[in-house]
A = this chain, B = another copy of it.
Amino acid sequence: MDRNTETKSMILKAFKKGYTPTAEELLQKLREAEPNFSRATLYRNLASFCENGKLKKVSVVGKTDRYELNTGCNYHLVCEVCGKIEDLEMAGAIKTPARLMDYEVHSHELMFYGVCPKCQKKRK
């Protein structure tokens, strides 16, 4: 399992730091080079890259999911206008309470992912 293919490296090569496309945006980009690039293959590979930790899927309420290189960073800046997502290095990022990395910040959301007490019990 997990063989090296031209298709897979094309996908990974497309990701550079700070590039957080939706699957369809990425497909469009890949089809510039390879007009028949398969949508199914792209989605399947994106999913598997997320499983093996090479990529990370980021979800913003009301928007299509985006993918990024998995840097291990769990802090993000989301532009509500253009949809872009950036990693946020917390150290030194805070400028004023409403300003982070020159973003004008309107709100934030902190999510903890885990297992609730009920499901912990059921699991045993």
Please tell me if the beta carbons of A82 and B114 are within 8 angstroms of each other in the complex.
no
Partner of A113, one of B58, B80, B115, B118: B80
Asked if A108 is at the interface of the complex by the 8 Å CB criterion, the answer is yes
Scan residues 101-124 of chain A and give those whose CB is less than 8 A from a CB of chain B: 102-120, 122-123
Q: 15 extra interchain contacts, Cβ-Cβ under 8 A, other than A62-B65, A77-B114, A78-B112?
A: A57-B62, A59-B60, A59-B61, A74-B110, A75-B110, A75-B111, A76-B111, A79-B116, A103-B115, A104-B115, A104-B120, A105-B113, A106-B115, A107-B113, A109-B111
Measured CB to CB, the residues of A under 8 A from B are 57-62, 65, 74-82, 84, 86, 88, 100, 102-120, 122-123
